Structure 1
Amino acid sequence: MPGFRGRVLFLATVYTHLASFHIPFMQLLQNKGYEVHVAASPDEGRKEEVEAIGVRCWDIPFSRSPYSLKNWRAFKELSRLFEVYRFDLIHVHTPVAAFLGRYLARAQGQGPVLYTAHGFHFYHGAPLKNWLLYYPLERLAAPLTDGLIVINDEDYQVARRMGFKPGKNLFYVPGVGVDLEKYTGPPGSGALRKELGISQEEIVITCIAEFSPVKNHAFLLKAWEKVASSITGVHLCLVGEGKLRKRLEHKVQTLGIPRVYFLGFRQDIPKVLQDTDIFVLVSCREGLPRAVMEAMAAGKPVVASNVRGNRDLIEHGRTGFLVELGDVEGLAGYLEMLARDESLRLSFGAAGREKIKDYSLEKALTEMEAIYSRYLLFK
């Protein structure tokens, strides 16, 4: 391993984001000889996963809400960190941390700043309040951004209109990548089906998403009621945690919605997907959802909402189906169609597995290495 070359800081609102998506990129920089630091809020956990790779962690009390007074304390603590350390590169993520990080980095003479937009909060169809808040903030922060990385076509076009120049300070990267080898192995042991008492002949539909308003589980459950009443041998597995989980569990119990399983946070997603027949994600917005990428890598057909990010991945009628938000009948119909047609599931799954090769972790690492090399001394 090369000797010490400098310091790099990864900055995000919560450690959960960094643990989920950015550990391979931290390790890439470590292998190049850079000392990697991380700054984020520990509120949602998973800090230990980041620390385990040997990075130095700084707890900064960011809040996801731009209106929270906690962000003023975060501003002061991040400022103090910048007084102690000068970083050769700062890679920022998530809107609140990214804005504060870019402002303070420029004000305190830090090195260049890269910003990965994991889906701008202003987008086609976004609420007006999003445009009134986040769009002006991004315009203000644009001169403080040495490089902007986007992960879907819609954001790429928006960034160009904001004045970023492709190949100069605007870069398109196909998401955070998916490790294809984890999802393309031999069939699993059926552990999830055994755990839930589901036979191999029955159909498992899986959604992997945080229980938050943007992931739109209420829409999915409305459609699921129709599917479950039409077909008896289907089961819906909901993987994830979040503030809405208890409310949704109560709804399922109160209304007697059948065959819905809340599986919580899982570290065996490849095995969960091996026991899955159909993957579904009906978010109100996405950047470029890795859960969909993982399902495609596992060879599963996908039913997804017709929103930015999902559109980049799903070819309607070839790798899955895209459904309009609020179209309960359409969503239920697509899920029923796939549940009843094994040959269609296999066809869509095979096409998805082929398409997702362009979104591999290996390719993402190669492209990010090239971007980092513009701002750091790579040899």
Structure 2
Amino acid sequence: MGQRRIFHHAVRIPRNPFSRLLDNKKINSYNKAMKILRIIARLNIGGPARNAVLLTEGFPGTALICGEVDKSEGDMMYLAGEKGIKPIIIKELGRELSWKDDWAAFWKIYKIIREVKPDIIHTHTAKAGTLGRFAGILYGKAILIHTFHGHVFSGYFGKVKTIFFIWVEKFLALFTDTIITVSEALKKELVEKYRIAPEKKFSVIELGFELDELLKLPPRENSGTVNVGIVGRLVPVKNHKMMLRVAKRVGDIQGQSPKKGTVPVEIVPVRYMIIGDGEMRGELERYVEELGIKDKVEFKGWVKDLKAIYEELDIVALTSLNEGTPVSLIEAMAGGRPVIATNVGGVKDIVKDGASGYLVELGNVEEFIKKLLELIKDPEKRRKFGENGRNIVKDRFSKERLIKDTEKLYNNTLQENQFLRS
């Protein structure tokens, strides 16, 4: 049989997101429009939400289920609206663990699955992946696909809870037809370190973005001050306190008097911009005051306009304890900005050390300071790294490539499972 084509009717989520497709019952499974149910815990600012929205737009015949976004996280529901997508909101599909709400969310997801009878249930992120796949297992008539955009096995929970989550993922993997990771490094970690499932069950599909505006961004004009930015949620795993300690030390080094017989330290004014919001904002603002660097640090909150974020920055930093795919670094590189980051998770799959930026081992604050100072003092290196980074990401992380790769995976998975309902 030939490959099943994905792109049929354009569905823009009416009252019943599959109302047009449900009438098409007499066509066999390889010629009718494919029905996809996409589930994500919430459309908060970050790579998973962007990915889910772009895939929903890219595959007509898709409905999107999500929960509500916490006020502190930054809401990306506007992006769905811009694409003409109206998600199905399940209020109980919340961020925190709650037996009552999670049970209610599970049954609501299951009822939606029973009503729309999707060919594919594709889940994103841990909470949605758990509830959505359990509901899919109970339904028993759809392909189950889950995307790991990262994992919660390091930097999020205590030991007992982490072990529990690992075992839940191992169990769910037994019933999942394909597990997608957004980087080779993440796949390797899930297969070799956590042993979630055999390697043959995994596929790597890197994220895709709408990068056109960033790819046209010119270098920042020399204002005499170097702006260093860190973009992301203000949560423990992003490790902002390390960045603030670095900012303090860079200021101390530049302000100290040279020892006799040594070359004076060149003083370059530096300003640090914290773009994002989250549960740690108050704590981080107090930490800035404790360090005595309030005059050097600006908390910008969430900024919807990506171009506005990166056109202000000369250097983009990331100090995370754990990362799947570092979205802010991809955006920065598309914008022609050099980057410096801790070498965790999928970061090394994106950043070419010494070519598009610098990678520093987690915990090595002194090396991070040294490399950051190199970028601060060398505008030509910043320009060169920025150009290299842009060349690395411009095609690799395009929206078109994401949709093409996902279409191929969907078709291959369906062909391997021809027992799906007639």
TM over 0.5: yes
Aligned equivalent of 2:375: 338
Task: Spell out the pairing of 1:255-334 with structure 2 (5 A cutoff).
Answer: 255-257=291-293, 258-334=295-371
CA contact (8 A) 1:38 1:55 kept: no
Aligned equivalent of 2:67: 40
Deviates more, 1:291-300 or 1:227-236: 227-236
TM-score normalised by the chain length of structure 2: 0.78
Aligned equivalent of 1:193: none
Offset of 1:233 from its aligned partner? 1.0
Structure 1 unpaired stretches of 5+: 191-198
Match of 2:185 among 154, 166, 181: 154
Aligned equivalent of 2:227: 204
User: Quick one: distance in 1 between partners of 2:155 and 2:68?
Assistant: 30
1:14 aligns with 2:14: no
TM-score normalised by the chain length of structure 1: 0.86
Task: Spell out the pairing of 1:101-180 with structure 2 (5 A cutoff).
Answer: 101-122=132-153, 128-129=159-160, 131-157=162-188, 158-159=190-191, 162-166=196-200, 169-174=201-206, 176-180=207-211
Letter in 1 for 2:54: P
Match of 2:397 among 359, 364, 376: 359
Letter in 2 for 1:12: I
Offset of 1:141 from its aligned partner? 0.4
CA contact (8 A) 1:177 1:360 kept: yes
Larger Rg: 2
The Cα offsets for residues 90-142 of structure 1, whole Å up to 9 and x where unpaired, read as 11011121011111111123411210101233369997446512221111001
User: Quick one: distance in 2 between partners of 1:152 and 1:65?
Assistant: 26
Offset of 1:153 from its aligned partner? 1.8
Task: Spell out the pairing of 1:15-94 with structure 2 (5 A cutoff).
Answer: 15-16=43-44, 19-30=49-60, 34-44=61-71, 45-52=75-82, 53-66=84-97, 69-94=100-125
User: Quick one: distance in 2 between partners of 1:281 and 1:149?
Assistant: 24
Offset of 1:77 from its aligned partner? 2.6
Deviates more, 1:276-285 or 1:246-255: 246-255
- The structure richer in helix per residue is 1
Q: CA RMSD in A?
A: 2.7
SS, match of residue 263 in structure 1: strand
Tell me the matched-pair count. Answer: 363
Offset of 1:363 from its aligned partner? 1.8
CA contact (8 A) 1:188 1:271 kept: no
Deviates more, 1:125-134 or 1:72-81: 125-134
CA contact (8 A) 1:60 1:77 kept: no
Aligned equivalent of 1:373: 411
Offset of 1:262 from its aligned partner? 0.7
CA contact (8 A) 1:29 1:36 kept: no
Letter in 1 for 2:216: G
Letter in 1 for 2:52: H
User: Quick one: distance in 1 between partners of 2:340 and 2:367?
Assistant: 10
CA contact (8 A) 2:67 2:94 kept: no
CA contact (8 A) 2:268 2:377 kept: no
User: Quick one: distance in 2 between partners of 1:319 and 1:173?
Assistant: 22
User: Quick one: distance in 2 between partners of 1:225 and 1:356?
Assistant: 32
Change (3 A) 1:237 1:42: closer
User: Quick one: distance in 2 between partners of 1:321 and 1:208?
Assistant: 17
Change (3 A) 1:353 1:132: same
Aligned equivalent of 1:194: none
CA contact (8 A) 1:119 1:152 kept: no
Aligned equivalent of 1:96: 127
User: Quick one: distance in 2 between partners of 1:106 and 1:343?
Assistant: 56
Deviates more, 1:53-62 or 1:145-154: 53-62
Percent of pairs with identical residues: 26
User: Quick one: distance in 1 between partners of 2:357 and 2:62?
Assistant: 42
User: Quick one: distance in 2 between partners of 1:204 and 1:124?
Assistant: 28
Change (3 A) 1:289 1:208: same
